[in-house]
Amino acid sequence: MIVDTGAIRAFLDDRHIALAERIAEYSTRVLAPLPEPADDAAARQQARELLGKLGAAGWFAPIRDQDWRACCLIREALGATSPLADAVFALQALGVVPMLLTENESVRKRWLEPAIQGRAMASFAMTEPDAGSDVASLGTTAVRNGDAYVLTGTKTFISNAGLADFYTVFATTDPAKRDKGIGCFVVPADTPGLRFVRALVLSSPHPLGEIAFHAARVPRDCRLDGDGEGFKLGLATLDRLRATVGAAACGMASRALADALAHAKTRRQFGKPLSDFQLIQQKLARMATDLSAARLLVYRAAWEKDRGAPRVTLEAAMAKSFATEAAQRIVDDAVQILGGRGVLADNAVDRLYRSVRALRIYEGTTEIQQLIIAGQLVK
């Protein structure tokens, strides 16, 4: 699947053009032939294999380099060919970026390069049964005890739960301070007291689950943030990565559009191709326009961050909300154009239909993004 760099050329450097060509070739050759996992166990096994493949090929390096346009190009290509590979990339970024934004050298020394090389799988543990969009209401506690913190609580809807080698965990150090009393910790998966509770099975292959901390003792030097700065660190991480979620959505949408267009040009009904019918043309036109607008918003946000903007809160929120909503519409229209073929389990468009929905929820729902946008405008 070729990533069209022409429309977004103004936001890219020459190295990005070359990277787009390489990741497109790699995705088509290595990822596209992979079968969709049959169940959760198979998805977990394939996720592990994908981690090694992507790491060995060097595709996680732009995360370490904080080259957000490169990350967007990679996620767009992965989203088009393997939503599971895209999820693996996304979680490496979520787990690693907090390390990059702090001065904790001991954590970096242990985990950064293994994660970038695909030898250590990351996870990002923020969401709880009673704390989703309202991060300040986290119930998991981290109580200082000598030279360590003792973590107690439950995290749910955690990607790579039970599979990760380390978890980047957000916990309350002072409940009275709410968002100013949250810490961020890197917790090795083999920490005594950390338990994988259960898998949560999605309709699309994705290792998701619940973990619990039962007086899990974590050394003090595993804390990434300064006192009470964990909430800001989490927001800064999401601020950088939300545009890449939009890029993954664009990849899924571009694949859906390509498949729908190819089908419309070859499928004949009433003596002529579907593409001759004006209602089909209307869908194709809307799909292409939405996709172009989404990509421009995504790469504008990444370009702003790459050129040194301290915050891209507004741009990233616009990119994620518009791109993910547009991708949902585009994939849905593709299913409609393909008709019965579009809902067959072995059809790529059906896989995209099951995969794209989650993008409107994770890393901040569309509704939260709209509140962020409005808040930035009012401020």
Pick the catalytic residue: 25, 304, 363, 367? 363
Q: Are residues 191 and 241 in the same domain?
A: no
Residue 4, in any domain of the structure: no
What CATH number should be reported for the domain holding residue 56?
1.10.540.10
* Residue numbers of the domain that contains 322: 231-378
**What's the whole-number average pLDDT of the chain?**
95
- The pLDDT tens digits for 98-148 are 999 998 999 999 999 999 999 999 999 999 998 878 888 899 999 999 999
Q: Are residues 238 and 226 in the same domain?
A: no
Q: Which residue is associated with the tokens 């390096």?
A: 61
Q: Are residues 335 and 247 in the same domain?
A: yes
Q: According to the model, what pLDDT value does residue 1 have?
A: 60
- The pLDDT tens digits for 236-254 are 999 999 999 999 999 999 9
Q: Beta 122-125 vs 166-172: how paired, if at all?
A: parallel
Alpha carbon distance 333, 329 (integer Å)? 6
What CATH number should be reported for the domain holding residue 191?
2.40.110.10
Q: Are residues 15 and 149 in the same domain?
A: no
Q: Are residues 223 and 266 in the same domain?
A: no
Q: According to the model, what pLDDT value does residue 5 have?
A: 82
* Count: domains in the chain: 3
Split at pLDDT 50, 70, 90, the class of 2 is low
b (16+ CB within 10 A) / e for 187-205: bbbebeebeeeebbebebb
Q: Are residues 211 and 286 in the same domain?
A: no
- The pLDDT tens digits for 183-212 are 999 999 999 999 999 999 998 899 999 999
Q: Are residues 197 and 328 in the same domain?
A: no
Q: Are residues 289 and 347 in the same domain?
A: yes
Alpha carbon distance 223, 151 (integer Å)? 12
Residue 80, in any domain of the structure: yes
Q: According to the model, what pLDDT value does residue 228 have?
A: 81
Most confident range, picked from 67-71, 228-232, 308-312? 67-71
Q: Are residues 60 and 130 in the same domain?
A: no
Q: Are residues 237 and 325 in the same domain?
A: yes
The partner residues of 215 in beta bridges, in order of sequence, read none
Burial of 215 (0-12, 13-18, 19+ CB in 10 A): exposed
Residue that is last in its domain, among 202, 230, 258: 230
Q: Are residues 212 and 292 in the same domain?
A: no
Q: Are residues 226 and 237 in the same domain?
A: no
Q: Is the CB of residue 336 less than 8 Å from the CB of residue 282?
A: no
pTM of the model: 0.95
Residue 263, in any domain of the structure: yes
Q: For this structure, is 367 an active site residue?
A: no
How far, CA to CA in Å, does 85 sit from each of 17, 36, 100, 358? 21, 11, 22, 15
The partner residues of 145 in beta bridges, in order of sequence, read 148
Q: According to the model, what pLDDT value does residue 131 have?
A: 85
What CATH number should be reported for the domain holding residue 337?
1.20.140.10
Burial of 256 (0-12, 13-18, 19+ CB in 10 A): buried
**Strand ranges for the chain from DSSP E:** 122-125, 141-145, 148-159, 166-172, 182-188, 194-199, 208-219, 268-269, 272-273
Burial of 130 (0-12, 13-18, 19+ CB in 10 A): exposed
Residue that is last in its domain, among 81, 116, 151: 116
Q: Is the CB of residue 71 less than 8 Å from the CB of residue 240?
A: no
Alpha carbon distance 340, 370 (integer Å)? 35
